[in-house]
């Protein structure tokens, strides 16, 4: 399909993601930044139309190039990853590794921090080291996914809303050992980027989380959020929740990991996540499996190339990660 939007210096092709590349062979970093700044509004409109843009073939070499690229695009101000529980490392201010979750694990589609009131509006990915096989940052169109779900599931989730429960440890030798073997469970000091309980409580208040300090300084937080929202600019209705990632089930974890998790997380206060409807009703596995099937059917995967940058509208587009082999280093950042 021929694209009607044009920007001098850029070639724009495809639609999910819209792929933007230089229309001449040599395009230096400064020229890229100048072009981004000059065409902010057009690029913003393009992102609202497609939900996902992939910048390919530009000399974006390292984390600070990536950060300047995001600033030049001007979609919003950087926000940190507070409240998120994917294992990540901070690379530099506001830039993180995308996820340190085990390479063999498939991370299903989701919008970043969709269970948090102040969720980020955009998420960015930068490919520093492409994986040897697979490892795509898979994406999905949340408008299509909303339409593809069974109307009864959609209505049930929309009418009831969801309550998310998370449990985070403090200083715990067993948890640290487990994370050495396989990073899976974050401490509250990592989730809230502080060691002070007072700061945690302040951030909970700020985000409408209720909290409880439990045995051995564990922290339990809960929040009730809608399952479906309207995009703040386009007013389109999208599926916007992480119910499918808050239930321990064999489809999500795979049987060996599921059995391991069941044995270890037998006590309620050590369970990482739980999900229920806001009225206290149970969310059925049948519904969750249906959602996961629809997400799978609507997954788009493209192989990473070194120096690629992907920009997602975090309401219109979901992301996840395919399993991989090789080193894989994908950096990420968020803006609101
Ligand atoms: Fe994510």
- Nearest Cα to Cα of residue 331 among 307, 303, 301: 307
Q: Give the C-alpha separation, 178 to 234, whole Å.
A: 44
Q: What is the CA(335)–ligand 1 centre distance, in A?
A: 14
Q: What is the CA(108)–ligand 1 centre distance, in A?
A: 9
What is the number of residues in the chain? 336
Q: What is the CA(6)–ligand 1 centre distance, in A?
A: 31
Map 166-233 to HEC letters: EEEECCCHHHHHHHHHCCCCCEHHHHCCCCCHHHHHHHHHHCCCEEEEEHHHEEEEEEEECCEEECCC
Q: What is the CA(245)–ligand 1 centre distance, in A?
A: 11
**Where in the chain are the domains?**
10-102+118-134+301-335, 144-295
Map the chain to HEC letters: CCCCCCCCCEEEECCCCEEEEECCCCCCHHHHHHHHHHCHHHHHHHHHHHCEEEECCCCCCCHHHHHHHHHHHCCCCEECCCCCCCCCCEEECCEEECCCCCCCCCEEEECCCCCCCCCCCEEEEEEEECCCEECCCCEEEHHHHHHHCCHHHHHHHHHHCEEEEEEEECCCHHHHHHHHHCCCCCEHHHHCCCCCHHHHHHHHHHCCCEEEEEHHHEEEEEEEECCEEECCCCCCEEECCCHHHCCCCHHHHCHHHHHHHHHHCCCHHHCCEEEEECCCCECCHHHHHHHHHHHHHCCECCCCCCCCEEEEECCCEEEEECCEECCCEEEEEEEC
- Nearest Cα to Cα of residue 135 among 334, 311, 320: 320
Q: What is the CA(100)–ligand 1 centre distance, in A?
A: 11
Q: What is the CA(212)–ligand 1 centre distance, in A?
A: 26
Q: What is the CA(23)–ligand 1 centre distance, in A?
A: 31
Q: What is the CA(113)–ligand 1 centre distance, in A?
A: 8
**Are the CB atoms for 96 and 333 separated by under 8 Å?**
yes
Q: What is the CA(111)–ligand 1 centre distance, in A?
A: 6
**How big is the CA angle at 311 (ends 87 and 144), to the nearest 5 degrees?**
95
Q: What is the CA(98)–ligand 1 centre distance, in A?
A: 8
Assess whether the region 10-102+118-134+301-335 and the region 144-295 belong to the same CATH fold: yes
Going residue by residue through the chain (336 aa), what tens digit of pLDDT does each one get?
444 678 888 999 999 999 999 987 668 999 999 999 999 999 999 999 999 999 999 999 999 999 999 999 999 999 877 666 666 677 777 898 887 788 988 999 999 999 999 899 999 999 999 999 999 999 999 999 999 999 999 999 999 999 999 999 887 777 777 666 666 678 899 889 899 999 999 999 999 999 999 988 999 999 999 999 999 999 999 999 999 999 988 888 888 878 877 776 656 666 788 999 999 999 999 999 999 999 999 999 999 999 999 999 999 999 999 999 999 999 999 999
Q: What is the CA(107)–ligand 1 centre distance, in A?
A: 8
Q: What is the CA(321)–ligand 1 centre distance, in A?
A: 8
Q: What is the CA(311)–ligand 1 centre distance, in A?
A: 13
Q: What is the CA(109)–ligand 1 centre distance, in A?
A: 8
Q: What is the CA(256)–ligand 1 centre distance, in A?
A: 23
pLDDT at residue 25, as a whole number? 67
pLDDT at residue 252, as a whole number? 84
Q: What is the CA(165)–ligand 1 centre distance, in A?
A: 18
Residue 236, class by beta-carbon neighbours within 10 Å (0-12 exposed, 13-18 middle, 19+ buried)? middle
Q: Which CATH superfamily is domain 10-102+118-134+301-335 in?
A: Clavaminate synthase-like (3.60.130.10)
Q: Give the C-alpha separation, 245 to 164, whole Å.
A: 10
Q: What is the CA(137)–ligand 1 centre distance, in A?
A: 9
Architecture in CATH of 144-295 = 4-Layer Sandwich (3.60)
């Amino acid at each position: 399909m021929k694209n009607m939007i044009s920007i001098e210096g850029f070639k724009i092709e495809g639609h999910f993601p819209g792929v933007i590349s230089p229309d001449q062979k040599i395009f230096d970093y400064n020229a890229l930044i100048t072009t981004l700044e000059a065409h902010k509004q057009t690029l913003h409109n393009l992102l609202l139309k497609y939900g996902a843009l992939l910048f390919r073939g530009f000399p974006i070499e390292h984390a600070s190039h990536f950060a300047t690229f995001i600033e030049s695009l001007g979609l919003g101000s950087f926000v940190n990853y507070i409240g998120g529980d994917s294992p990540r490392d901070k690379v530099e201010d506001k830039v993180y590794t995308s996820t340190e979750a085990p390479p063999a694990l498939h991370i299903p589609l989701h919008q970043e921090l969709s269970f948090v009131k102040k969720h980020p509006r955009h998420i960015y990915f930068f490919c520093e080291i492409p994986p040897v096989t697979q490892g795509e940052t898979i994406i999905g169109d949340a408008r299509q996914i909303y339409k593809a779900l069974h109307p009864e599931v959609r209505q049930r989730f929309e009418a009831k809303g969801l309550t998310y429960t998370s449990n985070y440890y403090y200083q715990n030798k067993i948890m640290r050992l487990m994370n050495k073997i396989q990073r899976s469970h974050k401490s509250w000091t990592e989730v809230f980027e502080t060691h002070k309980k007072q700061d945690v409580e302040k951030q909970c208040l700020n985000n409408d989380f209720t909290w409880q300090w439990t045995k051995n300084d564990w922290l339990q937080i809960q929040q009730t959020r809608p399952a479906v929202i309207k995009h703040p600019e386009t007013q389109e209705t999208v599926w916007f929740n992480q119910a499918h990632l808050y239930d321990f089930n064999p489809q999500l974890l795979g049987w060996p990991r599921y059995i391991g998790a069941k044995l270890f997380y037998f006590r309620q206060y050590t369970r990482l996540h739980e999900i229920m409807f806001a009225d206290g009703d149970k969310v059925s596995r049948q519904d969750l499996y249906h959602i996961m099937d629809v997400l799978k059917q609507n997954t788009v995967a493209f192989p990473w190339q070194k120096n690629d940058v992907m920009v997602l509208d975090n309401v219109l587009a979901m992301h996840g990660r395919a399993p991989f082999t090789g080193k894989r280093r994908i950096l990420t950042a968020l803006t609101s």
